[in-house]
Amino acid sequence: MELSMTKKKESSQDTMSEISEEEIRMSGIYNTHYYNYRCRDCGYEAKVEDIVVDSFPPSPRSKHRMPELQCLCGGDLCYVKDL
C-alpha cells in the first residue's frame, strides 16, 4: 500500500497525515494516459505520459493540438496522428 504525506490544517503545529489508498484513487493520480509519439528524423517511437504532454504548449503544426517534443537524436518527436 503506497502512502503520501500531506499537511493537516487543523493543528498549529506542522504535522503530517497519511493519505489513504482510497483518497489517492479518488484524486485521479493513477489515471495516467499515454500518447504515442514518433520522431520525424530517426523514426524513434515513444509512449509519452499525459502529465508531460500537458506541460507543453501545442505545436502550430499539430492538427490535434499536441506539443512537439525533442527526440534523443535532436529531431522533432511528434504525436503519431500528426505524421
Domains of the chain, by residue range, sit at 1-31, 34-82
Q: Determine the pLDDT at residue 24.
A: 74
In the chain, which ranges are continuous DSSP H helix? Answer: 21-27, 50-53
CA distance 67 to 78: 7
**Total number of residues shown for the chain:** 83
How far CA 40 is from CA of 8, 45, 49, 60, in Å, comes to 48, 10, 19, 16
Q: What is the pTM of this model?
A: 0.66
Per the model's pLDDT, the better-predicted residue between 26 and 51 turns out to be 51
Query: Can you read off the three cell numbers belonging to residue 9?
Result: 490544517
Per residue in 10-46, pLDDT (tens digit) is 544 455 577 788 887 777 777 889 999 999 999 999 9
